[in-house]
């Protein structure tokens, strides 16, 4: 049942107004507050400023309200506040997480030798993947990266990561944190549907390999700006030929590989060395819920740091804490497990399919409209468009999209985003929850058109 759009997407209050209202909440006193008073405060001062992700008009980001089964699991995890990473802190939580990772490897069609670990977010999953790739590069040179670090390389300036120009900025964070700097990221051009251009990639790699040590190629399965899926299988072949680690950033898109009619777009993902995924995007599970998968479970050995009191080398029980750096993590696997079990896979797939259908239907229609430019054919649940009124000056098109975006933001009835595709400023519509229908997307476009008519050239 869809909610009607007379509800604002959030209060619309300014940062100053929100801060003024919240001040009392952080006024820490000697005396405690009864829960009823606290509840009143939170309900009045905080919740109106939360964004309503379940409204059909929420079309800007990758957030979703919790699904019922997920909420059930999250409440149990919260009640018992179980830590994961180590058998001693929670045998049940550890075993559930381990089994969940194996089950996910199976449903995503990853190899029987693969493994996964839960992470705080996709950003950290990508970072860990790059770290493991660099570690493997060091092994090729015969040294232990964990011990020697970048100094072990004769010329660290040669180290490079190759990815799409549309790759997520978390890769920039990753190379910064690893001490390589952003100069080590080599962006590749994309084709008209915003997927890595495989022919140009082949040429670039051929040249780059003469001067650079490419230790990782990152393919994106669902880019953040346009939802495009890079051609994974041909990239697998290129990586195989050059012996480079392939990481697939599926933080946003991997979930859609479960939808049978989309599966083909993901072919080859099972051959990637590592894959990241964020169930907290479209699965309706509480934030944070992210995973990193590796094709060979022993790849995670590169992450292990043993302690004397914790993560001990002679522990015989499973120890997820050796697969990533945090020594405390929440039991996020539980809400994912209860969500999938409560709905059943058929409903999960239906939920994933709904926004994809909405975006495709809207794109097909908009492709017939003279005043709307559909900037790419959508692979998943994102659509970038430009409103182009008749005889509108080309040089002001960017400003027009920003004007529309600002007007929509100010109205608070819907939430969309703007982004850049190369030099073009475009409106970016996201369908992440099943409540975003093609009608809701079309309503946004009609609003945008109306606003475009009010723009003063
Ligand atoms: C493709 C892609 N990779 C990585 C990330 C980062 O994920 P997180 O926000 O969980 O850190 C995002 C976030 O939107 C993304 O779209």
Q: What is the pLDDT of residues 210-221, one digit of tens each?
A: 999 999 999 999
Nearest to 427 by CA among 376, 380, 379: 376
Residue 10 lies in a domain: no
Mutate-to-test residue for ligand 1 from 249, 278, 282, highest number of ligand atoms within 8 A of CB: 278
pLDDT tens digits for range 225-264: 999 999 999 999 999 999 999 999 999 999 999 999 999 9
CB distance 275 to 269 below 8 Å = yes
Ligand 1 atom closest to 121 (CA): 10
Residue 428 lies in a domain: yes
Nearest to 404 by CA among 380, 387, 384, 420: 387
Alpha helices (H) in 168-287, listed in sequence order:
170-177, 198-211, 232-242, 279-282
- Considering the domain architecture, whether residues 338 and 216 belong to the same structural domain is answered as yes
- Considering the domain architecture, whether residues 333 and 362 belong to the same structural domain is answered as no
Residue 156 lies in a domain: yes
| Mean pLDDT confidence for 378-382 | 98
pLDDT over 90 for what percent of the chain? 97
Q: What is the mean pLDDT of the chain?
A: 96
- Please tell me the predicted confidence (pLDDT) of residue 4: 52
**Distance from the alpha carbon of residue 77 to the mean position of ligand 1, in angstroms:** 24
pLDDT tens digits for range 153-193: 999 999 999 999 999 999 999 999 999 999 999 999 999 99
How sure is the predictor about 391, in pLDDT bands with cuts at 50, 70 and 90?
very high
pLDDT tens digits for range 64-83: 999 999 999 999 999 999 99
How sure is the predictor about 3, in pLDDT bands with cuts at 50, 70 and 90?
very low
> How many CB atoms lie under 10 A from the CB of residue 39?
11
- Considering the domain architecture, whether residues 238 and 359 belong to the same structural domain is answered as no
Query: Which residue among 343, 370, 400 closes a domain?
Result: 343
- Considering the domain architecture, whether residues 258 and 225 belong to the same structural domain is answered as yes
Q: Provide the number of structural domains found in the chain.
A: 2
Task: State how far the Cα of 48 lies from the Cα of 46, in Å rounded to an integer.
Answer: 6
Where residue 146 sits, what CATH number does that domain have? Answer: 3.40.640.10
- Considering the domain architecture, whether residues 332 and 290 belong to the same structural domain is answered as yes
Q: CA dihedral in degrees (137, 173, 322, 157; nearest 10)?
A: 20
Query: Which residue among 303, 325, 343 closes a domain?
Result: 343
pLDDT of 5 above 70: no
Residue 181 lies in a domain: yes
pLDDT of 7 above 80: no
- Considering the domain architecture, whether residues 377 and 400 belong to the same structural domain is answered as yes
Where residue 436 sits, what CATH number does that domain have? Answer: 3.90.1150.170
pLDDT tens digits for range 421-441: 999 999 999 999 999 999 999
- Considering the domain architecture, whether residues 231 and 216 belong to the same structural domain is answered as yes
Residue 33 lies in a domain: no
Q: Is pTM, for the whole model, over 0.75?
A: yes
For residue 336, the enclosing domain spans 71-343
Task: State how far the Cα of 400 lies from the Cα of 448, in Å rounded to an integer.
Answer: 10
Q: List all residues whose CB is within 6 A of at least one atom of ligand 1.
A: 62, 121-123, 126, 168, 170, 220, 222, 224, 249, 251-252, 278, 290
Length of the chain: 457
Task: State how far the Cα of 35 lies from the Cα of 24, in Å rounded to an integer.
Answer: 15
Mutate-to-test residue for ligand 1 from 60, 118, 120, 122, highest number of ligand atoms within 8 A of CB: 122
| 3-state percent helix, strand, coil for the chain, nearest multiple of 5 | 50, 15, 35
- Considering the domain architecture, whether residues 273 and 381 belong to the same structural domain is answered as no
Query: Which residue among 283, 318, 343 closes a domain?
Result: 343
- Considering the domain architecture, whether residues 320 and 175 belong to the same structural domain is answered as yes
How sure is the predictor about 287, in pLDDT bands with cuts at 50, 70 and 90?
very high
- Considering the domain architecture, whether residues 329 and 356 belong to the same structural domain is answered as no
| Mean pLDDT confidence for 111-133 | 98
- Considering the domain architecture, whether residues 133 and 253 belong to the same structural domain is answered as yes
- Considering the domain architecture, whether residues 216 and 294 belong to the same structural domain is answered as yes
pLDDT of 17 above 80: yes
């Amino acid at each position: 049942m869809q909610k009607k759009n007379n509800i604002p997407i959030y209060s619309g209050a300014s940062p100053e107004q929100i801060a003024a209202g919240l001040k009392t909440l952080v006024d820490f006193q000697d005396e405690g507050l009864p829960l009823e008073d606290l509840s009143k405060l939170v309900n009045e001062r905080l919740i109106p400023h939360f964004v309503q992700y379940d409204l059909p008009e929420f079309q800007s980001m990758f957030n979703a309200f919790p699904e019922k089964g997920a909420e059930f699991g999250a409440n149990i995890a919260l009640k018992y506040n179980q830590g994961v990473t180590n058998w001693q802190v929670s045998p049940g939580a550890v075993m559930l997480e381990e089994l969940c990772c194996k089950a996910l490897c199976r449903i995503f069609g990853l190899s029987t030798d693969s493994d996964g670990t839960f992470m705080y977010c996709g950003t950290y999953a990508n970072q860990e993947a790059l770290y493991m790739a660099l570690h493997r590069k060091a092994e090729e040179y015969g040294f232990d990266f964990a011990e020697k670090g970048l100094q072990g390389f004769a010329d660290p300036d040669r180290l490079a990561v190759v990815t799409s120009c549309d790759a997520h900025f978390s890769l920039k964070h990753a190379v910064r944190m690893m001490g390589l700097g952003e100069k080590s990221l080599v962006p590749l051009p994309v084709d008209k549907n915003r997927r890595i251009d495989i022919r140009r990639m082949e040429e670039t790699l051929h040249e780059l390999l003469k001067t650079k040590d490419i230790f990782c190629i990152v393919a994106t399965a669902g880019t953040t700006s346009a939802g495009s899926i890079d051609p994974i299988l041909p990239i697998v072949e290129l990586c195989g030929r050059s012996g480079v680690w392939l990481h697939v950033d599926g933080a946003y898109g991997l979930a859609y590989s479960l939808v049978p009619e989309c599966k083909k777009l993901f072919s080859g993902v099972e051959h990637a060395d590592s894959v990241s995924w964020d169930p907290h995007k479209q699965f309706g599970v509480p934030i944070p819920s992210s995973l990193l998968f590796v094709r060979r479970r022993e790849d995670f050995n590169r992450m292990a740091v043993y302690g004397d009191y914790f993560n001990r080398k002679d522990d015989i029980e499973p120890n997820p804490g050796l697969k990533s750096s945090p020594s405390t993590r929440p039991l996020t696997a539980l809400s994912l497990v209860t969500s999938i079990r409560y709905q059943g896979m058929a409903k999960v797939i239906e939920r994933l399919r709904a926004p994809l259908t909405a975006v495709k239907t809207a794109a097909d229609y908009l492709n017939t409209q003279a005043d709307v430019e559909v900037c790419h054919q959508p692979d998943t649940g994102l659509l970038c468009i430009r409103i182009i009124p008749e005889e509108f000056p080309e040089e002001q098109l960017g400003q027009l999209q920003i004007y529309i975006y600002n007007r929509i933001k100010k109205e608070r009835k819907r939430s969309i985003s703007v982004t850049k595709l190369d030099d073009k400023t475009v409106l970016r519509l996201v369908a992440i929850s099943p409540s975003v229908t093609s009608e809701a997307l079309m309503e946004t476009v009609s609003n945008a058109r109306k606003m475009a008519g009010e723009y003063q050239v």
